């Protein structure tokens, strides 16, 4: 895992340093004198050799030092940590909804195997997976926010609203009404994964001997499907949750932009557009770190829940 | 893993007229007529391919031309089904024509990216699986790294540094998304290389390259093409997202560009559904067609899935 993170950090360093263009272009005003420019270049360490810069970059990274944002003139670390909770609340909230709906609907579709409900359900689910998240967000925004006026059009809280601490903010009606549409957008996109997984696991499990045994014992259909079938089909779906968190961090980039949600993805997009390299680099690395950690968690969970998978 | 023998070559097919390796792979990919999903998917694809080919004939206007009505007024914000099929944008551009030309860029990006993913992923999987040893270790480490890179943020950063172009998406997919195809092909090759017919080829003195490309590759090709058909949709979705975020080519009319234009021009608050619904629906149709086709072939490739 450390190797992958190091490799990602190195690739990022190379992209940002080897590309044409002066990384300080956004920072240096044309009115600056030669001396001022040289002083700035020295201050950011850009007068050193590429290899020295690289070592310095790794050294700073290991100490959690991500540099200063050119645009906000603040340390990158504190900027991205400020918006991280917003992204996590959006990603986790929508994922939990998506998994609850997906698991129940997946089990139901497996139970209805071969009926018209399945014939209709599968194409509908595939369609939700094919729809671009930002477009779903745009349609929801146009219908529920602009046409009906039920929800605010963007942001995470109304201007001027004040809260005592995170808990107060996250439980406030104002925040939740802002959260609803972006979370719904992500949930619509993401419920297909647990749904299809749950369905195919259910189909496998329902053919197992212990399910037949439960039927022979004369248990009710509900008991057979839920207590014996669904419980066993659920395990692999849960391991996919960790993987989904990492994935959701990437997907939130577009949805956060549509809904002007003040999160990590929107910050990354804004930083790249503004040429704010330090901030873009920091936001990218944080997203990558979440992805790598969650991939690892998914792997480990998989091994714990299914001992047949060995880790050599 | 699924039984590989279904995937292509049937050894001992008759020594007289032996079809070529590629021919055998394509035979396994014959249209699954029995599967309504796959047929619907193929029909949708056929329609979009025809639209892309005949875009010049189908479009009513230049997609970026600013249009005027008969009384020399700027034809801005025209409603649908009037003088203009789908109305016009706030700058007086024809939405229907943009949608038609958007098909072309979507298919170009989709097919090019899918080809790149299939070629890179299949080669990596073939060599990692057949060679084993350090080749395998190095290639699978690279796949680990590719899995650790958040894809969309990577494309954003890449697109921001390179010239804005639809090829950025293709490049990014070739650099990152080969990982899934590569891993699946590798595990397929691992089961294939210990097969008797591969053993026989080795004993009869065939070189490694010949065994890999002549005896193993045709059997994994259907699997890589399956992943390729999903990649087409991925590429189109990614291109749309990148254009929407403003990192696309401003001169190439694509569905993502149309959506970005609509979003930035307040089409949402003005309720201009005729503007932002059509390009989104086109994306949904193309991508879902890819899903339907791959689902149909999945049942051809893995008959265990059939009920």
- Please give, rounded to a whole number of angstroms, the shortest distance from the CA of B67 to a CA of chain A: 26
The residue of B106, B149, B172, B177 whose CB has the most chain A CBs within 10 angstroms, and thus the best one to mutate to test that interface, is B149
Q: What is the pTM for the complete model shown? A: 0.80
Distance between the two ends of chain A, CA-based, in angstroms?
15
Give the residue on B whose Cα is nearest the Cα of A291: B148
| pLDDT above 50 for B2 | no
- pLDDT value at position A18? 66
Residue of A nearest to B232 (CA): A130
Domains of chain A by residue range: 2-62, 79-305
pLDDT value at B180 more than 70: yes
Does CATH place domain A79-305 in 2.40.70.10?
Answer: no
Identify which of B233, B246, B268 has the shortest CB distance to residue A138.
B268
Which tokens is B235 given? 């590429």
Cβ–Cβ gap B157/A280 under 8 Å? yes
DSSP for chain B reads: ---GGGGS--SSS-SSSPPPHHHHHHHHT---TT-HHHHHHHHHHHHHHHHHHTHHHH-SS-TTPPPB-TTS-B-TTPPTTSSSTT-B-TTS-BHHHHHHHHHHHHHHHHHHHHHHHHHHHHHHHHHHHHH-HHHHHHHHHHHHHHHHS-HHHHHHHHHHHSPS-THHHHHHHHHHTHHHHHHHHHHHHHHHTTSHHHHHHHHTT--HHHIIIIIIHHHHHHHHHHHHHHHHHHHHHHHHHHHHTT-S-TTS--HHHHHHHHHHTTTTTTT-HHHHHHHHHHHHHHHHHHHHHHHHHHHHH-GGG--
Q: Choose among A15, A16, A273: nearest Cβ to B246.
A: A273
The whole-angstrom distance between A164's CA and the closest CA on chain B is 33
Average pLDDT, chain B: 76
pLDDT band at B9 (very low <50, low <70, confident <90, very high): very low
Verify whether the Cβ–Cβ distance A130 to B141 is below 8 Å: no
Q: What radius of gyration do chain B's Cα atoms show?
A: 23
ipTM above 0.90, yes or no: no
Closest partner residue to A131 (CB to CB) among B161, B284, B292 is: B284
Chain B hits for A291, CB-CB cut-off 8 Å, are 147-150
Residue A228 is classified by DSSP as I
Q: Do B276 and A139 touch (CB under 8 A)?
A: yes
Q: Which residues of A touch B151 (CB under 8 A)?
A: 250
**Contact flag B291-A126 (C-beta cutoff 8 Å):** yes
Which one of A8, A153, A265 has the shortest CB-CB distance to B149? A8
* B305 closest CA partner among A195, A203, A205: A203
B84 and B94 in contact (C-beta within 8 Å)?
yes
Among the partner-chain residues A113, A153, A268, the one whose CB lies closest to the CB of B307 is A113
Q: Is B145 within 8 Å of A11 when comparing Cβ atoms?
A: yes
Q: Which residue has the higher pLDDT, B186 or B252?
A: B186
Q: For the segment B34-86, what is each residue's pLDDT rounded down to a tens digit?
A: 677 778 888 888 888 888 787 777 667 677 766 666 676 666 666 666 666 66
Cβ–Cβ gap B150/A3 under 8 Å: no
Residue A130 to residue B37, Cβ atoms within 8 A: no
- Chain B residues in contact with A249 by the CB 8 A cut-off are 150
Contacts of B95 (CB under 8 A, 6+ apart): B80, B84, B85, B86, B87, B88, B89, B258, B274, B275, B278
Between B153, B162, B267, which is nearest A250 by CB?
A: B153
Burial of A172 (C-beta count, 10 Å sphere; 0-12/13-18/19+): middle
Check if the beta carbon of residue A192 is closer than 8 Å to that of residue A109: no
pLDDT at residue B1, rounded to an integer: 35
* Separation between Cα atoms, residue B230 and residue B293, nearest integer Å: 9
The pLDDT assigned to B254 comes to 83
The residue in chain A having the minimum alpha-carbon distance to the alpha carbon of residue B141 is A4
- Inter-chain residue contact A284 with B150, CB threshold 8 Å: yes
Predicted pLDDT at A191: 83
B287 chain-A contacts, CB cut-off 8 A: 130-131
3-state DSSP assignment of residue A181: helix
Spatial distance between the Cα atoms of A165 and A262, rounded to a whole number of angstroms: 17
Average pLDDT over residues B290-295: 81
What is the reported pLDDT for A258?
83
Q: How many CA atoms lie within 13 A of B159 on its CB side?
A: 31
Calpha distance B126→B129 (Å, rounded): 5
**Closest alpha carbon within chain B to A132:** B237
Counting one residue from chain A and one from chain B, the pairs whose CB atoms sit within 8 A come to: 141
Contact A127 B284 (CB under 8 A): yes
Q: What is the pLDDT of residue B12?
A: 39
Q: What is the CA radius of gyration of chain A?
A: 24
What pLDDT score was predicted for residue B11? 41
| Candidates A8, A114, A130, A131, partner chain B, best to mutate (most B CBs within 10 A) | A130
Tell me whether residue A9 is exposed, middle or buried, using C-beta atoms within 10 angstroms of its C-beta: 0 to 12, 13 to 18, 19 or more.
Answer: buried
Locate A61 and state its tokens: 């990274």
- For residue B14, pLDDT over 50 is answered with no
With an 8 Å Cβ cutoff, are B148 and A134 in contact?
A: no
d(CA B65, CA A106): 48
Question: Which range, of A212-216, A239-243, B12-16, B122-126, averages the lowest pLDDT?
Answer: B12-16
Length of chain B equals: 307
One digit per residue, the tens of pLDDT, for chain A of length 312 reads 778 888 888 888 877 776 655 556 656 666 667 777 777 666 666 666 777 777 777 777 777 777 777 677 777 777 888 888 888 888 888 888 888 888 888 888 887 777 777 777 888 888 888 888 888 888 888 777 766 667 777 666 665 556 666 666 666 667 777 777 888 888 888 888 888 888 888 887 777 788 788 888 877 777 777 777 777 777 778 778 888 888 888 777 888 888 888 888 888 888 888 777 778 888 888 888 888 888 888 878 777 766 655 543
> What was the pLDDT predicted at A27?
60
């Amino acid at each position: 895992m450390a190797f992958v993170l190091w490799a990602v950090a190195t690739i990022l360093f190379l992209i940002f340093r080897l590309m044409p263009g002066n990384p300080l272009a956004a920072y240096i005003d044309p009115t600056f004198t030669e001396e001022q420019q040289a002083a700035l270049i020295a201050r950011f360490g850009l007068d050193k050799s590429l290899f020295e810069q690289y070592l310095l970059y790794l050294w700073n990274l290991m100490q959690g030092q991500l540099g200063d944002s050119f645009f906000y003139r603040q340390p990158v670390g504190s900027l991205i940590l400020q918006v991280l909770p917003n992204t996590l609340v959006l990603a986790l909230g929508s994922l939990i909804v998506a998994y609850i709906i997906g698991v129940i609907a997946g089990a139901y579709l497996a139970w209805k195997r071969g009926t018209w409900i399945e014939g209709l359900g599968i194409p509908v689910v595939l369609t939700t997976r094919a729809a671009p998240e930002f477009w779903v967000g745009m349609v929801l925004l146009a219908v529920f926010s602009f046409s009906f006026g039920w929800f605010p059009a963007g942001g995470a809280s109304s201007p001027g609203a004040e809260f005592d601490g995170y808990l107060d903010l996250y439980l406030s009606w104002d925040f939740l009404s802002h959260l609803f549409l972006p979370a719904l957008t992500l949930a619509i996109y993401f419920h297909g994964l647990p749904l299809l997984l749950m369905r195919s696991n259910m189909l496998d499990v329902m053919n197992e001997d212990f399910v037949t045994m439960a039927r022979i014992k004369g248990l009710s259909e509900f008991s057979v499907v839920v207590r014996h079938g669904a419980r066993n089909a659920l395990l692999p779906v849960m391991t996919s949750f960790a993987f989904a968190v990492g994935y959701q961090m990437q997907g939130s980039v577009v949805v956060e932009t549509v809904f002007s949600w003040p999160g990590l993805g929107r910050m990354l997009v804004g930083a790249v557009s503004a040429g704010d390299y330090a901030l873009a680099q920091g936001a990218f690395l944080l997203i990558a770190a979440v992805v790598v950690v969650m991939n690892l968690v998914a792997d480990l969970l998989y091994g714990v829940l299914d001992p047949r998978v060995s880790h050599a | 893993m699924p039984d590989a023998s279904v995937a292509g070559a049937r050894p001992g097919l008759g020594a007289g007229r032996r079809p070529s390796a590629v021919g055998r792979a394509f035979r396994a990919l014959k249209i699954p007529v029995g599967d309504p999903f796959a047929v619907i998917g193929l029909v949708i694809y056929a329609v979009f391919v025809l639209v892309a080919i005949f875009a010049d004939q189908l479009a009513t206007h230049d997609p970026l031309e600013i249009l005027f009505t008969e009384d020399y007024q700027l034809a801005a914000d025209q409603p649908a089904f009037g003088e203009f099929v789908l109305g016009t944008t706030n700058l007086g551009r024809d939405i229907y024509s943009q949608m038609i030309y958007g098909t072309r860029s979507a298919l170009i990006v989709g097919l090019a990216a899918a080809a790149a993913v299939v070629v890179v992923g299949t080669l990596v999987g073939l060599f990692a699986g057949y060679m084993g040893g350090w080749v395998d270790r190095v290639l699978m480490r690279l796949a680990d790294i590719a899995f650790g890179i958040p894809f969309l943020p990577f494309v954003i950063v890449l697109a921001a540094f390179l010239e804005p172009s639809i090829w950025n998406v293709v490049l990014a997919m070739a650099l990152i998304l080969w990982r899934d195809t590569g891993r699946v092909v590798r595990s397929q090759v691992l089961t294939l290389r210990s097969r008797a017919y591969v053993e026989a080829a080795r004993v009869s003195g065939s070189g490694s390259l010949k065994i890999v490309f002549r005896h193993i590759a045709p059997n994994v090709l259907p699997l890589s093409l399956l992943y390729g058909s999903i990649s087409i949709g991925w590429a189109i979705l990614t291109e749309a997202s990148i254009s929407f975020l403003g990192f696309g080519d401003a001169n190439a009319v694509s569905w993502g560009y149309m959506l970005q234009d609509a979003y930035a021009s307040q089409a949402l608050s003005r309720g201009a559904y005729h503007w932002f619904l059509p390009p989104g629906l086109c994306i949904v149709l193309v991508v879902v067609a890819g899903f339907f086709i791959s689902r149909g072939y999945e049942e051809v490739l893995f008959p265990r899935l059939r009920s």
